[in-house]
Structure 1
Amino acid sequence: MPIENNLLDFTFQCFFQGVLITQLLNVVINLYNNSQRKEYFFYIAYLLAAILYFLYKTIMLYKMGWEYGAYPFPHNGLNYILANIIHLAYLKFAQAFINTKENYPSIHRLAQHTQQFILIFIFFNVVSLVFYQILLPVFVQYAFSGLLSIVSSILIGQMFCKRNRLVNYIVWGGTAYLVGALLSLLAAALRVHRVLPNFKYSLIITQAGVLIEVLCFTAGLAYKTLLAEQDRMAGQQKLLRQMQENEKLREHLGQIKAKVTRELQDEMGATLTGISVYSDIGLKYSEQQNSQGVTSILEQIGETARQMVNEVQDIIWMIHSQNPKSAIMWQKAYQYATDAVLGKNIELHFYISKEVEKLSLDLQLRKNVYLLIKECIDNSIKHARCKNNWVTFRLNQQKLILNIRDDGKGFVPDEVGAGNGLFKLKKWVRNCGGEIDIRSDGAGTAFHFECEVEKELPLNYY
């Protein structure tokens, strides 16, 4: 067919090759920024195979082959091998593009078996071409093409059912090529059988399908790149928000530690003032030679000092960085209660719900709750003369509930309301932002404490 007799067709062939080569150059350039994405390599292989295949078809269409030794170049069988390489590259590109191995295992397995089948067929064609200068028989070629079309249709159907936008780029691209190829084969068959004897555009039909497929694949790569960029931006924004939250948490933690430090200073100042007063009273008792009064004052000084030492140790332990989790606090509370009843003929019933065990409390709340627990246990065990002591922790929605009760002699809260222990108890309750209910009668004493808590704090809060 002379070129001058079909200038329009030749122009289209040049346009078609120009589009493929332009896409190839575009993908190669983008590969620099996406070297970790395997689909770019397989897309390059696909475009190269398509360029060579249709270049071969164009050369044969215009009878531009030449002889080289015993082999004409290009050889008449090269188109079948290149067509199968296009199918192979398409499958590899689709697998990498939508990550079938992780996202769609059944599609991945079918694609893998199809690739093995294509490789085997290419191998036998190459062997036959090298040793016998001829491809496998025509009926084998047609049977293979028909089977490959069926398998490709099944793969496209399975991907279509996934209803995923990325998958749709592969589906519509593959469908366009498959439809174009089948229509081209049909047109060629009709021409051979003289139904359409003058129809000369079967190759253009295939190329139109390939152009649509390339358009879909290129758009898909651009869309996936856009998604990756959006994910990267979202990750950066999340990291920025996390850093801002961390900064706020550090400021909050600093405020809490400053408040704890002030409370500790106030507590120590008040205690030392009390010891100073007791010392003055003790000196007066000594001048009066009141040995019983001196002994009583010394005991009071010792008890006050020991209480201060214990509270300071507890606070320091509570804010120490090696003891950040609330679970350790519950263990320490249990250990304190166990030690408190030891040797006093008191049976301890200690229960912590699983929800409370997993609970994370901020530093301020953790400190106040622990000191509150200690004070309640001390009041029950040291003064109630009880035989049983029940300590229960549970979580109701976002409320921490503490119940401590005993079966001792009880007391009248109004009569001891001004006592140092109950004064501290109410101060810690206020610091927690909670409420406490104290009930006591001849059957025992019950402390019921509630406060709002957050079920989970950020892991980096501590």
Structure 2
Amino acid sequence: MKNKREEQHIINELLASRLAIIIWGSLVYVSVIVLQFYREPLILSSLGFTGLFVVHGWLHWNSYRFTNKYFWYYFSAQGALIYLCSILMPDGYQAVLIGLLPVLIAQSLGFSYNILRVSFVFLISIILFFDSALTLGTMEDLILFLPIFVLMLIIVLAYAILFFQQVHERLRIQSFLRDLKEAHNKVEELTLSNERQRMARDLHDTLAQGVAGLIMRLEAADAYMVQGQTSRVHEIIKQSMVQARITLAEARFAIDNLRAKSSSEINFKEAIQNEVQHFKDATGIIVFIHLTLKKRLSRTLMEHSQHIVKECLTNIAKHAKADKVWVSLSDQHGKLLMEVRDNGIGFNTDALGTKVGHYGLLGIQERIRLIGGEMKIHSDSEGTSIKVETALIEGD
């Protein structure tokens, strides 16, 4: 019911349909008045005809207000008005019947898709035509005007069918646009949600972890200070200074990343090189970097890959006690391959996630899961190697 009312509203809101009703009704009215006054002027009948015609036009204009519930009332009233108009203008009835009945039948097509209802309106209109024609005219008049009526009926029905097809197409397009708008709003909501999650991960991976590490080191330094182990305190302070520089560099990077590089502006190689340079500036560790990337990556893959490399370097600075690091990224056979290796002291991979200091690797695992990749870790007394393999998702 709601869709039908909406459709009728759209039909009447269309400028073409309103103009067609006004122009056609005006032509019929003028034709009837001219024919009647040409043969026999009837002032009172003309006034009555004018009043009935205005009511008829008003009903046409506001037809969308009459839902299927009032179908029979509407078309009964319109049929009665047309019949009375023809009776009041005996010398212009032909114009009334030929001009208004085909429009009434055509309107029933748009008002109801029930074939029985349309057939009934058609049948009643034909009866009105023959009754009025035989009441006001002769059989010769009927034979003369019947072909004109049939021709007019065919033309109006053809126009109505094409018109309502256009209306249905417009309704379908508007429905698609509404669905598209809802989908767009949903995507915006999901995008905002994902952006908040990304910002939370960035802040956790930079400030939260960095500051937590500094607090732990300073607490340890305080404990050693109480015990009088100044050499150990000095060592922890040096490590804390390195950690503070790394945290500062990561915080600056996170802020720059949130500031605004669109996907078209992100240069992945440059971002990795900057990450390595920040690491070298903060730690003084030698880094060998090898990048062989031929294809442009999607923004999501670039961001997660960059954070994976950054977290690997951060873990090396915190725990590895290495003096050399190797960073390698390449795309081969539809895969993105990443490897970060050092010559540090290594760690026990079986204890991953159970000891303090391994939460960075858990963050790496979470990012790898988000991009559908796999991670392999090898660590011994000669160093640690982290290899990541994920599907290559190309960007625009």
Superposition TM-score, scaled by structure 1 size: 0.43
Larger relative contact order, structure 1 or 2 (CA cutoff 8 Å, min sep 6):
2
Superposition TM-score, scaled by structure 2 size: 0.49
